[in-house]
Amino acid sequence: MPLFTPFTLRDVTFPNRIAVSPMSQYLARDGYVNDWHLVHLGRFALGGAGLVFTEATAVEDRGRRTHGDLGLWEDGQIEGMARVARFLNEQGAVSGVQLGHAGRKASERRPWHGETPVNNEDIELRGEAPWEMIAPSAVPYGAHWQEPTEMTQADIDDVLQAFRDSARRVDEAGYDVLEVYAAHGFLVHQFYSPLTNKRQDAYGGDRNGRMRFALEVARAIRETWPGGKPLFFRLSVTDWVDGGWETEDTVELAKGLKSAGVDLIDCSTGGIGAGHNDSFTPRRMALAQGFQLPFAERLKQEAEIAAMGVGFLWDPEVAQAAIADGKVDMVALARELLDNPNWPLHASRSLGKDKDYSFWKPQFGWWLNKRQRLIDKLSLR
Ligand SMILES: Cc1cc2nc3c(=O)[nH]c(=O)nc-3n(C[C@H](O)[C@H](O)[C@H](O)COP(=O)(O)O)c2cc1C
């Protein structure tokens, strides 16, 4: 049953191939985790996911996307995150943190407050002030967005140090996997995409220059992140814009990341902000179930690195086939798991793997199995 076979990277074995994709909740205060995060993430561990990722977790406070983002920029934030990791690990899931920096997408309102820039109205409404943002170049995300300050070498060094320090905190909090959020138009993606990086120095210009920051982030993290623990990178494989970052560029970046100690590429796409900026016209995404799987398959083959597929996955047969056919090593689900945190347990039953609820925690499975036998005996359903 390919979806439910274990998978090992470095010293970590995932009990199955199903990952909970990072999902921001925008409910932290000053970056600190709370009971919401414990229960939200804990449900997925009880639901049978092999790997549970926290949401995007900021490496410095100005790198938050919203006021509600999680953070690991100070040691005081470790203990709360450790409580979540303990629970996930006790339930048999592998625990992961996604570290990120929003760059020019910082100081944004939560989705349900408009996904627009924070301004002085938010001070009155919620006591939340806008803050200044940094980016590779002074190119705003969209017409009504703040112009970010172009990062100096000192800023770059500071952010690299923040990744190094946060990685140490992820380890101290007891997590097994670290993923860098280098996709969806956030800071690392802003460096590698030609649409957002207009620098003339060693961090800009040709593809090698634009890839440099991502590679330095990977190397910085590997200085503090243990050798036995896997490091993932989430990349936007294409910008979906003519003249933007393309799949062949990602293949080259993935090869470099592999040499820098990265073990798996989490293959997403888009998010650079083309829809917000009149100067680019995004290409249409051909949305369909598993529409991003071919990108992951190409990365796996051409960069010879493990790959995770994500996006519009819900049918266990589709997820299973992607693993069975060797297209990807893992699949990640987000919205389907919000709808049904027990999706992995149901998938194992629908694929014929778990006839007697033995995959379930006995506190649930013992009762469900007993009820099922009664239902079958009396032909009730
Ligand atoms: C509520 C929500 C929050 C998200 N937050 C993040 C995030 O923090 N980091 C990230 O890489 N992707 C984030 N995403 C994107 C998902 O991880 C995933 O890539 C995307 O939803 C596509 O997968 P799906 O079709 O299974 O939902 C978020 C998605 C949702 C629905």
Where does residue 196 rank: exposed (0-12), middle (13-18), buried (19+ CB within 10 A)?
A: buried
The label of the residue with tokens 């910008």 reads: 239
The Cβ of residue 29 has, within 10 Å, a number of other Cβ atoms equal to 9
Distance from CA of residue 352 to its chain's centroid?
A: 30
> CA-to-CA distance for 186 and 214, rounded, in angstroms?
12
pLDDT at 339: 98
Nearest CA to ligand 1 atom 11: 22
Q: Which of 18, 20, 21 to mutate to test the pocket of ligand 1 (most atoms within 8 A of CB)?
A: 21
The Cβ of residue 314 has, within 10 Å, a number of other Cβ atoms equal to 16
Any ligand 1 atom below 6 A from CB of 234? yes
Q: How far is the CA of 268 from the centre of ligand 1 (A)?
A: 10
Nearest CA to ligand 1 atom 10: 22
Q: How far is the CA of 316 from the centre of ligand 1 (A)?
A: 19
The label of the residue with tokens 């060797």 reads: 326
Atom of ligand 1 nearest to the CA of 111: 1
Domains annotated for the chain, with CATH where assigned, are 2-350 (3.20.20.70)
Any ligand 1 atom below 6 A from CB of 308? no
> CA-to-CA distance for 253 and 100, rounded, in angstroms?
18
Atom of ligand 1 nearest to the CA of 337: 26
Q: How far is the CA of 24 from the centre of ligand 1 (A)?
A: 7
- Phi, psi angle pair for 198, to nearest 5°: -115, 20
Any ligand 1 atom below 6 A from CB of 269? no
Nearest CA to ligand 1 atom 14: 23
Q: How far is the CA of 202 from the centre of ligand 1 (A)?
A: 32
Q: pLDDT tens digits for the chain (381 residues)?
A: 799 999 999 999 999 999 999 999 999 999 999 999 999 999 999 999 999 999 999 999 999 999 999 999 999 999 999 999 999 999 999 999 999 999 999 999 999 999 999 999 999 999 999 999 999 999 999 988 999 999 999 999 999 999 999 999 999 999 999 999 999 999 999 999 999 999 999 999 999 999 999 999 999 999 999 999 999 999 999 999 999 999 999 999 999 999 999 999 999 999 998 767 667 778 888 899 999 999 999 999 999 999 999 999 999 999 999 999 999 999 999 999 999 999 999 999 999 999 999 999 999 999 999 999 999 999 998
Contacts of 86 (CB under 8 A, 6+ apart): 174
Contacts of 95 (CB under 8 A, 6+ apart): 51, 52, 84, 85, 88, 89, 174, 175, 176, 177
> CA-to-CA distance for 220 and 91, rounded, in angstroms?
31
Q: How far is the CA of 85 from the centre of ligand 1 (A)?
A: 20
Any ligand 1 atom below 6 A from CB of 333? yes
Any ligand 1 atom below 6 A from CB of 292? no
Any ligand 1 atom below 6 A from CB of 268? yes
Tokens for 210?
């634009």
Tokens for 59?
């490496």
Contacts of 211 (CB under 8 A, 6+ apart): 191, 192, 252, 253, 256
Atom of ligand 1 nearest to the CA of 98: 9
Any ligand 1 atom below 6 A from CB of 181? yes
Tokens for 89?
């690990």
Q: How far is the CA of 27 from the centre of ligand 1 (A)?
A: 15
Are the C-beta atoms of 359 and 348 separated by less than 8 Å? yes
pLDDT at 278: 66
Q: How far is the CA of 370 from the centre of ligand 1 (A)?
A: 36
Any ligand 1 atom below 6 A from CB of 235? no
**Maximum Cα interatomic distance, the chain, rounded to a whole number of Å:** 75
Tokens for 95?
């625990």
Where does residue 274 rank: exposed (0-12), middle (13-18), buried (19+ CB within 10 A)?
A: buried
pLDDT at 282: 83
Q: What is the DSSP letter of 321?
A: H
Q: How far is the CA of 56 from the centre of ligand 1 (A)?
A: 10
